[in-house]
Amino acid sequence: MSPDALRLNFRRISDSVGPASGVLPMVKADAYGVGVEGVVACLEPEGPWGFGVATVGEGMDLRSGGYEGRILVCGPIPLGEIDGALGADLELSVSSLCALHAMVEAASRTERGPRVHVDVDTGMGRSGFDWRKVNEWLPGLKKVGEEVTWVGAYTHLHSADADDSVAAEASIRAQWNRFDAVRQRLIAELGIPLVHVLNSAGAFRAPALGNAIVRPGIYLYGGRIGGGQPKPEPVVSLHARVVHVREAAAGTTLGYGSTYVASSDERWATLSIGYGDGLPRALGNRGYALVGDVRVPIIGRISMDVTVVDITGVPAVVEGDVATLIGTQGAETISLDEVAGLAGTISYEILTGLTPRLPRVWSDVEEGPSS
């Protein structure tokens, strides 16, 4: 993980929306698999508004790790976890009157008033108060009165990262218009002081809508955010050691199912990484690695613990050399998004799939072929 790249991506988001908008980095799912402790340590000196998580447990882990700033749990949570959330001084999202009443009841038990952000659904559909039914649910929020502290209101953009810029911007505008009508009433009737709408893609495509806070996610960690948008600096590189080298005669089979057969005499290298580490099994017989500054194909099915590459054209490779699965060696690069494309998925899934078995090393010095 490159701390310099992470900081630079954060600053690009901040610069895009301007100094009036705070930045709330999303660090859910162990900071998208990058490692939440390292991300928070790297970004806290940059002055974020706070950090965003998806679960109460993630927020409590941040607290136990020593972070004392603001933590927002984005999205609905199990009602039984509200007491713990209030005890950890987490800011909560509310998507239903049922959840709001549970928060008020928890406050009476814990003697800690909830600080709440109103989640408004403008098209994502998975959580939030329906923007079309504001006359039905807003009176219920008003009845609660001073029993909660209304901190903010937000919605979530569903297509801001589309490759079609025109369609993406039209989608952002449509959702904003829906949200804006509700926003004005929440400000007037509840006195809600701040709103937040923009994710990573929205921060570049519609920076004027930055309002009080933006909530970047994948861009911080090096994932692309749609056609025509600024490319992030690559934050994550993925490496493994060559642990075995062998000569394979023509006709030699490889791996489960024998899906690869040497068509001639070849040289193979076994790498100390497999799907148990988060390398997608879908890369078998279609992905690549960099070994000795050369791009070589992954052959056979990826196993739980090891992966094999064809190094016939790289005779200098020996056991102990470093192979790169994401990142750069010499003039060759395998990007995070290339890996996602070859695996038939998205960069989010690649990063969050990297398992705890892989050590997270924070350094701006890239591994070389034999480092």
Written as one string, the DSSP assignment of 207-246 is GGG-TTEE---GGGGT---STTSPPPPP---EEEEEEEEE
Question: Do 58 and 186 share a domain, yes or no?
Answer: yes
Please say if 133 is a catalytic residue.
no
Q: Quick: pLDDT tens for 45-74.
A: 999 999 999 999 999 999 999 999 999 999
User: What CATH number did the domain enclosing 264 receive?
Assistant: 2.40.37.10
User: What CATH number did the domain enclosing 204 receive?
Assistant: 3.20.20.10
For the segment 282-296, the average pLDDT, to the nearest whole number, is 98
**Strand 129-130 with 115-121, pairing:** parallel
Question: Do 27 and 55 share a domain, yes or no?
Answer: yes
Does residue 39 lie within any of the structural domains?
Answer: yes
- Does the pLDDT value for residue 371 go beyond 60? no
Q: Give the phi and the psi of residue 130 in degrees, each rounded to 5.
A: -65, 120
Strands (DSSP E) found in 249-343? 253-254, 260-261, 266-271, 288-291, 294-299, 307-310, 322-329, 332-334
Question: Do 216 and 252 share a domain, yes or no?
Answer: no
For the segment 301-319, the average pLDDT, to the nearest whole number, is 98
Please say if 28 is a catalytic residue.
yes
Q: Quick: pLDDT tens for 317-367.
A: 999 999 999 999 999 999 999 999 999 999 999 999 999 999 999 998 655
SS3 category, 26: strand
Give the pLDDT confidence score for residue 199 in this predicted structure: 96
* Predicted TM-score (pTM) above 0.85: yes
Q: Give the phi and the psi of residue 170 in degrees, each rounded to 5.
A: -65, -40
Does residue 364 lie within any of the structural domains?
Answer: no
Q: Quick: pLDDT tens for 340-350.
A: 999 999 999 99
- CB atoms under 10 Å from CB of 132, counted, come to 12
The count of domains in the chain is 2
Beta bridge partners of 260: 254
Give the pLDDT confidence score for residue 367 in this predicted structure: 54
Domain that includes residue 249, residue range:
238-352
> One of 133, 142, 231, 256 is an active-site residue; which one?
256
Kindly list the distances between the CA atom of residue 365 and the CA atoms of 9, 39, 257, 321, 357, in Å, as whole numbers in the listed order.
18, 17, 39, 16, 21
Question: Do 212 and 244 share a domain, yes or no?
Answer: no
Spatial distance between the Cα atoms of 70 and 89, rounded to a whole number of angstroms? 8
Q: Which of 78, 34, 37 has the alpha carbon at shortest distance from 55? A: 78
Does residue 217 lie within any of the structural domains?
Answer: yes
**Residues with Cβ < 8 Å from 66, sequence gap 6 or more?**
none
Q: Do the beta carbons of residue 339 and residue 350 sit within 8 Å?
A: yes
Does residue 367 lie within any of the structural domains?
Answer: no
Does residue 368 lie within any of the structural domains?
Answer: no
Does residue 365 lie within any of the structural domains?
Answer: no
Question: Do 61 and 200 share a domain, yes or no?
Answer: yes
For the segment 307-318, the average pLDDT, to the nearest whole number, is 98
